Amino acid sequence: MVSATIDNREISVPEGTTILEAAQKAGIDIPTLCHHKRLPPIGSCNMCIVEINGNTKPVNSCNSPVEEGMKVATDTKALHEQRVVNLKKILKHHALDCPICDKAGECDLQDVVYRLGVTDAPFEPRENPRIAEYSTSLIRYWPERCILCQRCVTACNAIKGIGAIDIKSDGDDGQIVVVDADKCKSCGECLFVCPTGALTENLSRYKGRPWLENRVETTCTYCGCGCQLQLKVMDNRVIGVTTDVDRGVNQGSLCVKGRFGYEFIGDENRLTTPLIKENGEFREASWDEALDLTAQKFSSIKEESGPDSIAGLTSAKCTNEENYLFQKFMRAVIGTNNVDHCARL
Ligand code: SF4
Ligand code: SF4
Ligand code: SF4
């Protein structure tokens, strides 16, 4: 363990703990932009600077470990002024188009601008506007909103192990580019960690605003991993999906199905009643009628050809209990061990 003081508070943390982590544990909130709980330190935004007794210049707290006897200050007048200078550099080409940005209301950049009280950051359009090289059918890249924090690139590499995108530098400027479009799994990890509206989701556009939505905690039903997610619900419709890094085995990550596969829930083509096919045409039926017919067919097949002529395949979209009931039904009611699950396909 190492002991130090942060803002005159005595702290004691395991060796290797960064000043930012130690401050957060002590309840001291240092502004950050590129830092993300699930990512290794990036150190690109220079918002988390702190003063260390004896050092001539501030250091980034996200990648500086606590050392024995260190005295750290996180909230001095000089630090505030330097953070404002650093933030204005970031804002130079970032139009404050919050009213039409999908991220407004849950944007880290918006929050830091508000927190530091920056009201005069004149926007200078680039002479050569950036071209949105990275975009998928599900994700849109707004290059002029990108602050080059590198969270998306780091997440694609460090969390997903994919490396589909990178930053192309051009002097002191740059933008996100695709390294290998075929590698991209459209998982949306990059979108999830982006602290600004530079990466937004195409499906949920214009469907709701963060402060108008309800968030409903649930478990993804697509596969057995059981990722935890939050459905964004407005007017009883699911308009998007988000996650919480502190919940579940997935720690905020999802695959393409969990992140973007929610539109079927309110789709008007979804079946709402059982259908029975007669003379080549489907007609609507009641549940009782459909279940009676199914039971009748199973019984006659079993009678004619034996129980092993029937097999059952169940689904990862069912709960554990439903899958248990299904195998019980196949074994005890139909009388066969021909039962399997799509997770083995
Ligand atoms: S969607 Fe997933 S795979 Fe594609 S760039 Fe983003 S993080 Fe990488
Ligand atoms: S797209 Fe978002 S996460 Fe990626 S560098 Fe730009 S601002 Fe950062
Ligand atoms: S998000 Fe993907 S990996 Fe996670 S439970 Fe859903 S389908 Fe499975």
Domains in the chain: boundaries? 2-91, 125-266, 271-305, 306-345
Q: Which of 133, 190, 191 to mutate to test the pocket of ligand 1 (most atoms within 8 A of CB)?
A: 190
Is pLDDT above 70 for 10?
Answer: yes
pLDDT tens digits along 312-325 = 999 888 888 999 99
Q: Region 198-212: what's the mean pLDDT?
A: 92
3-state secondary structure of 331: helix
Ligand 2 pocket test: pick from 108, 140, 147 the residue with the most ligand atoms within 8 Å of its Cβ. 147
Q: Is the dihedral of CA 17, 22, 25, 31 positive or negative?
A: negative
Question: What single-letter amino acid sits at 116?
Answer: L
Helix-, strand-, coil-residue percentages of the chain, each rounded to 5:
30, 20, 50
Band of pLDDT at residue 173, cut at 50, 70 and 90: confident
Residue closest via CA to ligand 2's atom 6 equals: 146
Q: What is the pLDDT of residue 172?
A: 62
Q: 245, 211, 222, 246: which is closest to 315 by C-alpha?
A: 222
Domain over 2-91 is classified CATH 3.10.20.740 = yes
- What gap in Å lies between CA 272 and CA 280, rounded to an integer? 20
Angle at 132 between CA 168 and CA 185, to 5 degrees: 80
Q: Which CATH topology does 125-266 take?
A: Alpha-Beta Plaits (3.30.70)
User: 196 CB under 6 A from ligand 2?
Assistant: yes
Asked if residues 278 and 305 have their Cβ atoms less than 8 Å apart, the reply is no
CA proximity to 16, closest of 52, 60, 63, 48: 63
Looking at residue 126, its pLDDT comes to 79
DSSP 172: T
Give the number of whichever ligand sits closest to the CA of residue 225.
3
Inform me whether the pLDDT recorded for 1 exceeds 80.
yes
Q: Which bound ligand lies closest to the C-alpha atom of 243? A: 3
Q: What is the residue type of 109?
A: L
User: pLDDT, tens digit, for every residue of 108-136?
Assistant: 999 999 999 998 877 788 777 787 878 88
Placement of tokens 């605003």 in the chain: 209
Q: How many Å separate Cα 217 from the centre of its chain?
A: 14
The predicted model scores a pTM of: 0.86
What is the rounded distance in angstroms from the CA atom of residue 165 to the CA atom of residue 156? 7
Q: How far, in Å, is the centroid of ligand 3 from the Cα of 29?
A: 33
Q: What is the mean pLDDT of residues 23-46?
A: 96
pLDDT at 42 > cutoff 90: yes
- Amino acid identity of residue 128, one-letter, is N
Contacts of 196 (CB under 8 A, 6+ apart): 94, 103, 107, 108, 109, 145, 146, 147, 149
